[in-house]
A and B are shown apart, each in its own frame.
Chain A
Amino acid sequence: MFSEKLPVGSFVEKGIDWMTQNFSGFFTSIKEALSGVIDGTSWLLTIIPAFVFIILVVLFAWWIAGKGLAIFAGIGLSLIYNLNLWDKTMQTLALVGASTLIALLIGLPLGILMSKSDAANKIIRPILDFMQTMPAFVYLIPAVYFFDLGTVPGAVATIIFAMPPIVRLTNLGIRQVPADVVEAAKSFGSTPAQLLFKVRIPLAVPTIMAGLNQTIMLSLSMVVISAMIGADGLGRTVYEGITQMNIGKGFEGGLAVVIMAMLLDRITQCLGSTPQKSGKEFIKKLLGK
């Protein structure tokens, strides 16, 4: 029984061949939809003049998190613009944004399902483990078979890799809603739908936001890896830098990724709650509360 290797690898290869042959129409339509979303977002982001975009982000950062982040956003984004990496950054933002959005659209309902049903929980949990820990490189070749080279297979690999946290934390957040609150709502005659959308989910929002934050961070970490299969953006700059040992170029690209990651991280961390020093509170105080 232990003398012969089980044909796991060739089984997977055959499965992928079979899927490419029989579902090509399906994959083509997914590919077109995805490239539509990504190209559209990226087009939208690049037609906004850089300085307008920077001002908007600075104001938003101040509004949501406070002065410190606003200053960081201003300096960081100007630096990216100065390094001639603006277009690449917008492409990366489009890739990360679209992947996160799709991960959210699939992940939220899955998380809710897991919190409602223990059976679903038992089935989905090991799948999430698999998705999250399988080295991301392994996704690259099947992604190329199904979706060709370019940004789309990169987004698919990113979605698979980045979705688990939002599912897990949605599930956790809803499950952690105190039983007495649920009891109280029930005793006032809430229907199950009201209970879910008006009590459980709103109370779970901070946890769900933490999941969203993790999902965004994981998609950013896929940026360079997806450049290996032809995805455009900052990852490509870094990848070109590494493969030609152009340390300066690689570092500049990496720096832009870090600036984006920090901005996205701080902003999403503050989405669930409003810190005292944020612009929102400042204006409230100013208006003489």
Chain B
Amino acid sequence: MLKKITLMLISVLLIAVAATGCGRTEDKDTKGTVKLAYVNWAEGIAMTNLAAAVLEEKMGYEVELTMADAAPVFTSVSSGNTDAFLDVWLPVTHESYIEKYGDDMVDLGISYENALLGLIVPSYVEIDSIEELNENKGMFGGEIIGIDAGAGLMAAAEKAVEEYALDYKLLTGSGPTMTAALGKAIDANSSIVVTGWAPHWMFAKWDLKVLEDPKGVFGEVENIHKYSRKGLEEDMPEVTAFLKNFKMTEAELGDLMGVIEEYDGEPLDAAHSWMNDHEGLINEWINF
């Protein structure tokens, strides 16, 4: 019995090791492999897949896409294992990561302007400003639904509670629990206030409004930056030049996110077809 098991294990191991030889196909026609990582946020999926489509089809590179959580992605770019991450929100949201890893990465500039953070309510809720929250405490049960502890947005929300002297409890959770709570409240047609950001798929799914922030606690605007590992510019100057040029307007990104959301297959295929419909924009990026 034991002998059989050992024999079985060894043969499986041997087959596995032997199989790797034929399992990998090296493509010699390409100029190299670009490793892009992204977090599973709608705007990041959209921009990263579009960049991958351009790199593959227009520029002749192989692209390796990896989806992971934000912290591992920053770790990987700063340690030089991943080439670029295109979804860095500054100056507020990802400030803590940039403080920690910023010195080991290169900022390639802004790809999307006027992103925003704030307190968000369903549009049928009758208040418009953060200042009205205290008068309507009963309506919201005195709670603001937050996201992950330690997120930049949460630090901003804490500051808002302080600055506006809100008599509210800021609950910690996660992005998914926040959207789940929001979805549940909307289904029940009840009032809720959450911490949120745009661009985000929740604005496509539901009718929402961002509460006015007269004191500017959530910052004027957020911009989405592209960060690469150190040394990418020397190794792949063309790729770096393309990534530096990569920039989308609200209408373009919204359209792309919508196309990906509605498409039934891989986001990369949707990005390919979007790319072919927007030759002009893409050519601006790759004509150096």
Contacts and interface: CB of A to CB of B under 8 A. Distances in A.
Interface string B15-50: 111111011100000000000010111100000000
B82 to A, nearest CB: 6
Given A39-B24, A229-B68, A149 B79 contact: no
Nearest to A32: B20
A265 interface: no
B175 interface: yes
Interface residues on A, range: 35 or more
A22 interface: no
A277 B281 CA distance: 67
Nearest to B80: A148
Contact of A98 (B16, B69, B76, B201): B16
A47 to B, nearest CB: 9
A41 B71 contact: no
Contacts of B13: 37, 101
Interface string B37-76: 1011110000000000000000000000011110111011
A141 B71 contact: yes
B79 A145 contact: yes
A104 B8 CA distance: 13
Interface stretch (A128-136, A173-181, A239-247): A239-247
Interface residues of chain B: helix, strand, loop or mixed (majority): helix
B40 A36 contact: no
Interface string A9-51: 0000000000010000000000000001101110110000000
A206 B37 CA distance: 44
Given A149-B66, A245-B179, A245-B180, A40 B16 contact: yes
B17 A149 contact: no
15 contacts: A37-B13, A37-B20, A39-B23, A101-B9, A105-B9, A140-B71, A141-B75, A148-B76, A148-B79, A148-B81, A229-B69, A239-B40, A240-B40, A243-B41, A244-B201
By Cβ-Cβ distance, the 9 closest A-B pairs, closest first, are A43-B23, A40-B19, A148-B81, A230-B68, A40-B16, A228-B69, A243-B40, A230-B66, A36-B20
Interface of A: 20, 36-37, 39-41, 43-44, 97-98, 101, 104-105, 140-141, 144-145, 148-150, 197, 201-202, 205, 227-230, 236, 239-240, 242-245
